[in-house]
Amino acid sequence: MAFMTQRAELEAALAKAEADWRTAGDDLDQAEAARARAHADWDKEAADRRKTDADRRKATTIWDRAFPDRRKAAADRRRADAARDQANANWDQARANRAKARAVWDQARAALDELERTERKP
């Protein structure tokens, strides 16, 4: 009877660990998508910056738009950098959470396997 209770507890722990791992995987997928969007935004800002650098070489635009454009471009780059850094940090955290959930799942599976081995012994 004790084995049945222990088995039920282990199976419940295994099911919970698997559900947690799947949830962590979904969170990682969402973080990956957000990270990809942030990288695309950063790439767009970098491309826009390169375009404005080329415009600044023209004599008519140097003094007309240099300071406002520079400030705006720098601010946009900083925002894009911050968003990208935050997305990378969120992705790293989601990946770590999934690894932890997988470790718990593996432990639960190992405990259930050990119980099954001890039940089979004569």
Residue range 25-61, pLDDT digits in tens? 999 999 999 999 988 888 887 777 666 555 555 555 5
Q: For residue 3, name the pLDDT band (cuts at 50, 70, 90).
A: low
Q: For residue 120, name the pLDDT band (cuts at 50, 70, 90).
A: confident
pTM of the model: 0.66
H helix runs in the chain, sequence order: 2-56, 59-120
Q: Which domain holds residue 82?
A: 2-120
Q: Which two tokens stand for residue 63?
A: 């003094």
Distance CA 61, CA 72 (A): 15
Task: Provide the percentage of residues in the chain whose pLDDT is more than 70.
Answer: 71
Q: For residue 16, name the pLDDT band (cuts at 50, 70, 90).
A: very high
Please, what is the end-to-end C-alpha distance for the chain in angstroms?
Answer: 17
| 101 pLDDT more than 80 | yes
**Are residues 115 and 13 in contact, defined by beta-carbon separation less than 8 angstroms?**
no
**Are residues 81 and 39 in contact, defined by beta-carbon separation less than 8 angstroms?**
no
Query: Looking at the 3D structure of the chain, how many domains does it have?
Result: 1
Average pLDDT, the chain: 79
Q: For residue 63, name the pLDDT band (cuts at 50, 70, 90).
A: low
pLDDT of 62 reads 55
